[in-house]
Every structure is written in C-alpha cells, then in structure tokens.
C-alpha cells in the first residue's frame, strides 16, 4: 500500500467489531492492533506482559487515583498512555494499520489519513453472540455486556473529549446486526477503498 491509511474501530462489546477488524485486516492486507499492541510493547521493552495486561483498556479507579503535576498513580492510566504513545509513534513512522479500541479515533485524530469507524449491534444479537462464545445464560450474558460496555465507555470518555459511540465523532457508525459480520465488513471495505481513492 503506497499511501498511509489508519483505520480506528471503536466497538460495543458483543457487536463483532473485533471480527470485522480481522476481516478488514485480511482484505486490506493491514496489520491489526488490539490487545496484541501491549504484547508488542512488552516484548520490545522486555517487560512482564501478564503484569501489564491486567490494566489493559480499563478505566482508572476514581477514588483510588491522584494526579500531581501530570503524574498519575493509576496503573490503568499509565498503561493507557503507554499504548497511546506507541500508537502515535507507529502512525508517525508512516505505517498503515487498523487499531481496535484504545481510543484510536482520538489518539490519531491529527492524521489526515485516519478513517474512524464505530460498530454497535442490537442487544439481542449481542446477547446471542456472547452467551454462545462464553457459554453463559442470557441473564449472565446481558450482565457481562453491560459491565464491559460500561468499562469501555468510562475508559474512552476519561481520555477523550468526544463521547464513546457518539456517531457525530466517527466517519462511519454501523449496526452490525443489519448486514451481519461479513456484510458489514464488505460495506466497510468498500467505504475504506473509496476514501483511500480520495486521499
């Protein structure tokens, strides 16, 4: 790929956003970064991955955190910033990639080649997917979805001015239930290729 393209995918838990990212990664031949981003950082810096993974994409605990002169004791916040810096460095090096979550659309907003996407889905579809994947009852799946989305929202909204999932702040916001995972990925591929042609 000659021109740089950066694709950020925000997603609701259970919406299939990550799967769509994987399909787009194959179709567009772009590396996909999600929780493997932290793996790459820890390998490069020779750090304990398991120790850092505990805090990946989690909101900081408000009453257990303090900030002094820009320094925060929150492991969650520091790990998030570590990843944001790494994402910016990667993008700054000219690499094209897809980033799932991790406030990608906000971290990379200064790059003209950014295409920001948000994937949501109907509650019913999310419950079906999660209950099958995690072998949970309907009630358990609903609770898990609620908790994870609440954490993602808190994580995102702490670091970003724009609100998580607000369609006004993404280039395209899509309900994956309407076209299914494959169909959604195809539509997004067409959109991305159209955008790239204009870059």
Partner 1 sequence: MEYMAQIIAGLIFIVMFGLIITEKIERHITTLMCGAFTLVVVFGICMRSASAIWKTLNFGSIFKLGFWYGAEESSSAGINWATIIFIAGMMVMVEGMAAAGFFRWLCMKIASLVHYKTMHIFVTFMLMSAFLSMFIDSITVIMFLAAATVELAQMLKFNPVPMILSEIFCANLGGSATMCGDPPNIIIGTSLGYSFADFISNTGIAAAISLVFSVLFFYFSYRRELVSDGGVYTGKLPDPKDAIKDKRSFTVSTVIFLCAVVLLVTHAQTGLSVATIGVFTAAATLAAAGKRIPYILKKVDYKTLLFFIGLFVVVGGLEETGALEVISYFIGKISNGNRYLMFGIIIWISAFASAFVDNIPFAATMLPVIKSLSAAQGVDLSSLAWALSIGTDIGGSATPIGASANVVGTSVAARGGYPISWARYCKRSVPATVIVLVISTVYIFVRYL
**Contact residues for partner 1 (CB under 8 A)?**
41-42, 45-47, 51-52, 54-55, 62-69, 71-75, 78-79, 81-82
The smaller minimum CB distance to partner 1, of residues 45 and 132, is found at 45
Q: How far is the CB of 75 from partner 1 (least distance, A)?
A: 3
By the 8 A CB rule, do 73 and 66 touch?
yes
Count CB atoms within 10 A of the CB of residue 94: 8
The smaller minimum CB distance to partner 1, of residues 47 and 190, is found at 47
The smaller minimum CB distance to partner 1, of residues 45 and 178, is found at 45
Tally the C-alpha atoms within 13 A of residue 89's C-alpha that lie toward its C-beta: 9
The smaller minimum CB distance to partner 1, of residues 67 and 150, is found at 67
Q: How far is the CB of 5 from partner 1 (least distance, A)?
A: 30
Instruction: Give the integer Cα–Cα distance in Å for 79 and 54.
Output: 10
Residue 76's closest CA among 57, 98, 50, 91?
57
Q: How far is the CB of 58 from partner 1 (least distance, A)?
A: 11
By the 8 A CB rule, do 87 and 107 touch?
yes
Q: How far is the CB of 35 from partner 1 (least distance, A)?
A: 16
Max CA-CA distance within the chain? 48
């Amino acid at each position: 790929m000659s021109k740089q393209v950066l694709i950020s995918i925000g997603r609701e838990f259970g919406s299939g956003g990550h799967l769509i990212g994987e399909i787009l990664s194959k179709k567009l031949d772009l590396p996909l970064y999600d929780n493997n981003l932290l793996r790459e950082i820890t390998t490069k810096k020779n750090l304990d991955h398991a120790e850092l993974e505990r805090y990946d994409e989690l909101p900081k605990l408000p009453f257990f955190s303090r900030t002094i002169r820009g320094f925060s004791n929150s492991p969650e916040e520091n790990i998030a910033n570590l990843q944001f810096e790494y994402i910016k460095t990667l993008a700054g090096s000219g690499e094209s990639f897809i980033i799932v979550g991790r406030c990608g659309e906000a971290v990379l907003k200064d790059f003209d080649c950014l295409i920001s996407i948000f994937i949501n889905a109907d509650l019913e579809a999310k419950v079906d997917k999660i209950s099958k994947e995690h072998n949970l009852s309907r009630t358990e799946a609903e609770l898990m979805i609620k908790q994870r989305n609440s954490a993602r929202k808190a994580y995102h909204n702490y670091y970003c001015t724009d609100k998580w999932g607000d369609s006004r702040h993404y280039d395209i916001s899509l309900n994956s239930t309407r076209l299914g995972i494959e169909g959604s990925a195809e539509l997004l591929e067409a959109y991305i290729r159209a955008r790239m042609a204009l870059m």
